[in-house]
A and B are shown apart, each in its own frame.
Chain A
Amino acid sequence: QKEVEQNSGPLSVPEGAIASLNCTYSDRGSQSFFWYRQYSGKSPELIMSIYSNGDKEDGRFTAQLNKASQYVSLLIRDSQPSDSATYLCAVNRYNTDKLIFGTGTRLQVFP
């Protein structure tokens, strides 16, 4: 079992819809959770971080964390074609400085 699991996709949504990206993790000692966006051939770009159970909103993005279920999600409202990218979930274990990444979910937003 991988430490961080994501559906590879592609997830296809129409422009203006809500895109829902999901991630599960196996280590209950994980304490920080991140969503990175990566365009093809580019570097991963941090878009959201979340540390406590519940929701965290930033513009069109909402991250949701449920530690009991070991589940992190990212919602993108009013999806735009420019949101088409691979979204990487990353988890940080307690007392380490390294991130454990999932393989990423490819999102396609079509006009």
Chain B
Amino acid sequence: EAGVTQFPSHSVIEKGQTVTLRCDPISGHDNLYWYRRVMGKEIKFLLHFVKESKQDESGMPNNRFLAERTGGTYSTLKVQPAELEDSGVYFCASSQDRVDYGYTFGSGTRLTVV
């Protein structure tokens, strides 16, 4: 079984540019989550999809962040325009069942905004 795949693994962009991160969950997993870890801080929840619907987007920092999951398969997270404080590691995770059984995380995208 393929794991959760994220790309790119690294991205360096200038402040004001746009970046799109992609996550391919484990096949058949209806639940897809985005998390972010800013340097020195804990991993923080961004949002949760169930299939193509946003179940919880309470962690999205502001309207510069847009997440989509068309067709309930892969998801994209777009940051437009990027700011310096957006730098960090963005993790995607997926699960078939509720969180009770834990998630499987992808290897993350390290975003650096300069």
Contact = CB atoms under 8 A, between A and B. Distances in A.
A45 B100 contact: no
A83 B56 CA distance: 34
Nearest to B104: A46
B94 to A, nearest CB: 12
B91 A43 contact: yes
A19 interface: no
B99 A2 contact: no
24 contacts: A2-B42, A32-B99, A36-B105, A42-B107, A43-B107, A43-B108, A46-B103, A49-B102, A90-B43, A92-B99, A96-B99, A97-B48, A97-B56, A97-B98, A98-B33, A98-B56, A98-B99, A99-B45, A99-B99, A100-B45, A101-B43, A101-B44, A103-B41, A104-B42
Interface of A: 2, 4, 32, 34, 36, 42-46, 49, 51, 88, 90, 92, 96-104
